[in-house]
């Protein structure tokens, strides 16, 4: 897989101009969503490099991460005269970078793309590492490919436009990165004041979080082993997210990951000896900031069914990434149906 350039931006306009100038292209396209085009595009639209760029806009929630939206992007590229030498800039959150990356990777067998993530979640997770894709058949990220962006530009300037819920959504992925790295990083994240945001400190934490993911992706670009560490909280989290989507009360991805962390840290304690005091501290932080997922035990079977479709599974065996301690990663951990129902009891009842 091609290596991407990750730019922790100190000067957004200069860095975007430079990244685009480093590419050789005949036509330039910019993909946004209906929120990004209103809040973020005005910050960069006057750049000379965007003169003559063709805009493509899709809906602004994960409900739009669909084959229909993908087809819309392909059609816009085709009608705009895109060739194999064209360039697509994805300006938006994780939905835009995932879908835009997939559109670029498949149009004419692949055109170059650049990601400019505008949400905290997309900066620390979706825009780095080359995972692209769409939701399909009611399942998260069911269709996609590994293909890195030529450049990823991370700027805290965009974070000021986010509401509190979207800050929290991204912070859940940062908490996951802390759990799989070291105790100091984990503790620093638990101390961060999410009610009175210090954007400079948040920017520093984002850089650390991205470095954790970059190191893992470099070691294992296509998720054969170590990269599965990044799935902590996601087997349960994706199931909760899919259930919410099915019941038409969509939850933000990071919230589902936070609740998934509660589930999988509980399993880690039971099966791998993860310290109970650190379980307690992490669960308290999550419940305090993210609240609870409304769950009925009658929904356990459906959640289990969603987990059987997880991409980490081998055959009919549900695989989890668990921890023996902070930074002590245990991939390919199996859990029985009884274990999983007990984990959901812990999420529901605490």
Express each pLDDT in 205-225 by its tens digit: 999 999 999 889 888 888 788
pLDDT score for 158 = 92
Give 53: exposed, middle or buried? Use CB within 10 Å, 0-12, 13-18, 19+.
Answer: middle
Share of the chain above pLDDT 70, in %: 99
3-state SS of the chain: helix, strand, coil percent to 5? 55, 15, 30
The C-alpha atoms of residue 18 and residue 151 are separated, in whole angstroms, by 10
Q: How far apart are the first and last CA of the chain?
A: 42
Which residues in the chain are classed under CATH 3.40.50.1970?
Answer: 5-160
Continuous segment of H or E residues that includes residue 319: strand 319-325
Continuous segment of H or E residues that includes residue 204: helix 199-219
Instruction: List the one residue out of 91, 106, 96, 86 whose CA is nearest residue 25.
Output: 86
Question: What is the CATH code for 5-160?
Answer: 3.40.50.1970
pLDDT score for 139 = 87
pTM, two decimal places: 0.89
| Residues 112 and 104: beta-carbon distance below 8 Å | yes
Between strands 112-117 and 134-136, the pairing is unpaired
Q: Helices (H) and strands (E) in the chain — how many of each?
A: 14, 10
Express each pLDDT in 78-125 by its tens digit: 999 999 999 999 999 999 999 999 999 999 999 999 999 999 999 998
Which residues in the chain are classed under CATH 1.20.1090.10?
Answer: 164-349
pLDDT score for 47 = 97
pLDDT score for 2 = 65
Question: What is the CATH code for 164-349?
Answer: 1.20.1090.10
The C-alpha atoms of residue 316 and residue 308 are separated, in whole angstroms, by 7
Which residue ranges in the chain fall short of pLDDT 70? 1-3, 315
Express each pLDDT in 65-86 by its tens digit: 999 999 999 999 999 999 999 9
């Amino acid at each position: 897989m091609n290596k991407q350039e990750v730019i922790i931006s100190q000067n957004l306009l200069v860095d975007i101009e430079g990244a685009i100038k480093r590419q050789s292209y005949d036509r330039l396209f910019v993909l946004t969503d209906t929120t990004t085009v209103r809040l973020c595009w005005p910050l960069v639209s006057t750049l000379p490099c965007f003169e003559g760029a063709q805009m493509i806009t899709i809906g602004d929630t994960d409900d739009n991460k669909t084959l229909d939206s993908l087809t819309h992007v392909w059609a816009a590229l085709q009608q705009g005269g895109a060739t194999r030498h064209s360039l697509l800039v994805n300006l938006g959150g994780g939905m835009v970078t995932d879908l835009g990356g997939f559109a670029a990777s498949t149009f004419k067998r692949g055109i170059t793309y650049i990601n400019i993530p505008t949400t905290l979640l997309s900066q620390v997770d979706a825009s780095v590492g080359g995972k692209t894709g769409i939701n399909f058949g009611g399942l998260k990220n069911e269709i996609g490919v590994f293909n890195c962006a030529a450049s990823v530009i991370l700027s805290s300037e965009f974070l000021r436009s986010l509401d509190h819920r979207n800050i929290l959504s991204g912070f859940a992925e940062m908490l996951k990165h802390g759990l799989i790295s070291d105790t100091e990083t984990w503790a620093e994240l638990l101390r961060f004041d999410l009610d009175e945001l210090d954007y400079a400190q948040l920017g520093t934490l984002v850089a650390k979080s991205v470095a954790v993911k970059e190191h893992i992706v470099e070691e294992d670009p296509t998720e054969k082993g170590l990269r599965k560490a990044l799935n902590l909280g996601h087997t349960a989290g994706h199931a909760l997210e899919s259930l919410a989507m099915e019941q038409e009360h969509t939850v933000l991805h990071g919230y589902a990951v936070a609740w998934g962390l509660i589930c999988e840290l509980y399993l880690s304690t039971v099966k791998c000896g993860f310290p109970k005091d650190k379980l307690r501290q992490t669960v308290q932080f999550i419940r305090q900031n993210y609240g609870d997922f409304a769950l009925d035990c009658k929904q356990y079977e459906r959640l289990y069914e969603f987990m059987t479709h997880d991409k980490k599974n081998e055959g009919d065996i549900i695989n989890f990434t668990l921890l023996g301690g902070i930074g002590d990663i245990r991939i390919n951990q199996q859990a029985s149906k009884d274990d999983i129902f007990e984990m959901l009891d812990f999420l529901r009842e605490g």
